[in-house]
Chain A
Amino acid sequence: MASIAIENLAHSYIENPVRDADYALKSINYEWTDGGAYALLGPSGCGKTTLLNVISGLLTPSQGTIQFNNRNVTSLPPEERNIAQVFQFPVIYDTMTVAENLAFPLANRGLDKTEITTRVSQMLETLDLSTKAGKRANKLTADEKQKISLGRGLVRHDVNAILFDEPLTVIDPLMKWELRTQLKEIHQQLRHTMIYVTHDQTEALTFAEKVVVMHEGSVVQVGTPEELFNEPEHTFVGYFIGSPGMNILPVTVDGSHATIDGFPVSINGFYTPSKDARTELGIRPEHISIKATNGTRSPDYNELPVRVKRVSDIGRQIVIAVTLGNHTINLIVPEGTSVPEKHAFITFDTERISIFANDRRLSVASSS
């Protein structure tokens, strides 16, 4: 088990990178503490798998260093870093039994037979695979195969970190939940440092204590699921976390007054963005209320006149898409709320408004 620190790390798949866009990873600094469960979250192509492969040693970064427990491992190959990795598709050794699969990394490291046997049977126990120990591994289901891949890492007690590269991609939805819960239990039991790459926010938020959100090769925010939800540091985080994501609307801000398309919106706090910054207002669909109107009453202060565009029932909640001028705003109301048919007024929860300048969150009474 180890802490992992990366410093000024960047990677490009191109031989002589010049432009910013040539880099798959752009100068990242971060430290993963020992025993934590982290998720690397981001859309496809944001560099999360690249970062994972740099940590595991499958890729050598173009610049920067990576340290395990304050030891520089930047140029070490994966086998010397003592990490485990679970891949998108289950990797199992077809010709071996389940038990042999689990014994393989130990046998390669020259452990003695009795030690291997005890560890393997312990691991079979942990993974709930004891009854299948003697079965050929290729006869198992996808989720059992993924458990074997994980087990081959866990069976090595001294493993520094366990890395997951979208490990639930090929698993049935029902088993996903099951496997994720089991993974969490294993983490609590063994306290290995775990880094979990995914583009699925549900997976990231349920698995991780801390989520690292990546966007176009950079880390845009690191935080607990609550922090990411309530205080996104970047418009991308606001948009990417939550379903539907945060509404981001162009706005002009002056002190504690904001104006969207000429409509005033009161905000909590005092913001002084610089004049030439692109300012935007972020509000979660959960933090907007809606009221029906016949279209004749003029809006009160803080009310925005909108037209209802689309209503979708998603079970216990209703998602309503409304239009304000040419902006679309999503809001979520509990099921049973009466949904206006055409004209409506919406009100933002003042406490929950975020203000962004050039995509970065503005803190109160500061300038960008």
Chain B
Amino acid sequence: MIAKTVNQRAWFLVLPVLLIVAMNAVIPLMTVVNYSVQDTFSPGVFFYEGTKWYKEVLTSPRFHGALGRQLTFTAIILAIEIPLGVMIALAMPRSGPWVSVCLVLMAIPLLIPWNVVGAMWNIFALPDIGLLGFGLNYIGFDYNYTQQPLAAWFTVVLMDVWHWTSLVVLLAYAGLSSIPDAYYQAARIDGANRWAVFRHIQLPKMKHVLIIALLLRFMDSFMIYTEPFVLTGGGPGSTTTFLSIDLVKAAIGEFNLGLAAAMSILYFLMTLLICWVFYTVMMREEET
């Protein structure tokens, strides 16, 4: 038998990755944890407060409001973007010169910087000069997203659908392209109608990419900040103040570091938890 040589130099080899993880994840996160259990009035002066900030966040109507708006927003855009994306992908040509035209058209919204998207829609939807805003008023709608909560929501949702449905389309299209022709031929021979083909061939084959799409769109929309911030700034009032916007208001606007830190931790845990649940449920479904 050969005795195993103990070589401590191996530690050096994992050091770079430890450093990177420490610098970009562990240390910043721990700093936030640190803030969330303390209070401060001037630089360098901290008081330990225990779970005070957490209790305050969890019981505050302001946080409940932001969370409620956030969940509503995410639910609405998922309910629109996933089916719409699948429908567009189904309608796209499978071969020929139009494929690349469609793909480029689909990719354009994804290539625009997020705050440019916000700025674009801000101007586009202005009731006096924007094409959308002016147009809606011209044909008889009373539309002003800077003053009406419903109009603001409509604009924010429309903007997100415009911006992100493409991602679902591209993923679903990739899933569809991977289905061999034989499946469609077999379905024709079996006398399946359009719906049966979708239900029993296309949907099951797209399932994997749709799970990814759902997960990505959930996470992104749950953390949305830039576009609504540029478009409405969270208003009118706080009607479009989602979690991120509220967090930034607390941290930078009000300089309430303890409260903001506790919010951050809770926000992070929620995202993590929901993603984990999503993932587990879907993987379990996969196995049966």
Write the residues of chain A forming the contact surface with B, with a CB cutoff of 8 angstroms.
56, 58, 77-79, 83-85, 87-89, 91, 93-96, 104-105, 108-109, 136, 149, 152-153
Contact = CB atoms under 8 A, between A and B. Distances in A.
B190 A77 contact: no
Contact of A93 (B188, B193, B200): B200
A108 B200 CA distance: 12
B186 to A, nearest CB: 4
A359 B196 CA distance: 51
A191 B255 CA distance: 85
Nearest to B203: A95
B191 A93 contact: no
Contacts of A84: 189
Interface stretch (B49-57, B133-141, B159-167, B177-185): B177-185
B192 A104 contact: yes
Which residue, A89, A91, A136, has most C-beta atoms of chain B within 10 A? A91
Given A93-B201, A95-B200, A104-B200, A109 B191 contact: yes
B182 A108 contact: no
Contacts, number: 52
Contact of A87 (B182, B201, B205, B288): B182
A-B pairs, top 10 by smallest CB distance, nearest first, are A108-B191, A91-B186, A87-B182, A105-B190, A93-B200, A94-B204, A95-B204, A78-B188, A79-B191, A78-B189
A149 B200 contact: no
Which residue, of A77, A83, A85, A136, has the highest number of chain B Cβ atoms within 10 A? A85
Nearest to A86: B186
A88 B193 contact: no
Interface of B: 180, 182-183, 185-186, 188-193, 196, 200-201, 204-205, 288
Given A79-B191, A108-B191, A108-B193, A85 B186 contact: yes
14 contacts: A84-B189, A89-B182, A93-B201, A94-B204, A94-B205, A96-B200, A104-B192, A104-B200, A105-B189, A108-B190, A109-B191, A136-B288, A149-B186, A153-B189
Nearest to A152: B190
Contacts of A85: 185-186, 189
Contacts of B182: 87-89, 91
Given A84-B189, A89-B180, 11 more contacts: A58-B188, A77-B188, A79-B191, A87-B186, A93-B201, A94-B205, A96-B200, A104-B190, A105-B190, A108-B191, A108-B196
B211 to A, nearest CB: 15
Contacts of B189: 56, 78-79, 83-85, 105, 153
A153 B183 CA distance: 14
A58 B186 CA distance: 10
A227 B185 CA distance: 35
A347 B205 CA distance: 61
A346 to B, nearest CB: 48
Contacts of B196: 104, 108
A232 B207 CA distance: 52
A83 B200 CA distance: 21
Q: B185, B193, B196, B205: which has the most chain A beta carbons within 10 Å?
A: B185
Determine which residue in B191, B200, B204 has the highest number of CB atoms from chain A within 10 A of its CB, and name it.
B191
Contacts of A89: 180, 182
B282 to A, nearest CB: 14
A95 B190 CA distance: 16
B180, B182, B201, B288, most chain A CB atoms within 10 A: B182
A58 to B, nearest CB: 5
Nearest to B205: A94
Which of the listed residues B186, B188, B189, B192 has the most CB atoms from chain A within 10 Å of its own CB?
B189
A58 B288 CA distance: 34
A167 to B, nearest CB: 11
Nearest to A110: B191
B204 A79 contact: no
A108 B192 contact: yes
Contacts of B180: 89, 91
Contacts of B183: 91
B253 to A, nearest CB: 50
Nearest to A84: B189
A105 to B, nearest CB: 4
Contacts of B205: 94
